[in-house]
Amino acid sequence: SHLIRWVILLAAGILALSQLGVDTSVLLVLVGVLGLGLALSFSLLIALGGQDVARELAAGRYLKRVLRKGGTIEVEAISGTVVKLHPATIEIETTAEGRRHVPYSHLLGSGFAWSESPAAKD
């Protein structure tokens, strides 16, 4: 709400200066350049932040063809039964640590051992 208030005040100020006969073209160009810079900064921020999410979702789509609920998985020091396949993580029930969420990209990056239980087959 503060940003909207400042934008309205800036627009009102520019309109008031224009009504008084002051040339506001330079000011309008400056405001436009600042607005474009902010928009590009936010776009870059969103794009770079979404890169990790996209990597996890893509790895998940690939691994969901292989992994099934109820199977046994071992990745590094984590070993247990697959409880659920989430969009970006796999939920594993371990005997020592309880339930853990492991990112799919971690599985692809470090390697894993998978065995499907007979009950997990569809």
Cα separation, 16 vs 63, whole angstroms: 61
Domain covering 1-122 in this structure, CATH number: 2.30.30.60
Predicted confidence (pLDDT) per residue in 93-119, tens digit? 998 889 999 999 999 999 899 998 766
pTM above threshold 0.75: no
Cα separation, 24 vs 38, whole angstroms: 21
Q: How far apart are the first and last CA of the chain?
A: 53
| Distance from the Cα of residue 67 to its chain's centroid | 23
Predicted confidence (pLDDT) per residue in 40-99, tens digit? 998 988 888 888 888 999 999 999 998 999 999 999 888 999 999 999 999 999 988 899
Contact 14/28 with Cβ under 8 angstroms? Answer: yes
**DSSP annotation of 20:** T
Domain coordinates of the chain in residue numbers?
Answer: 1-122
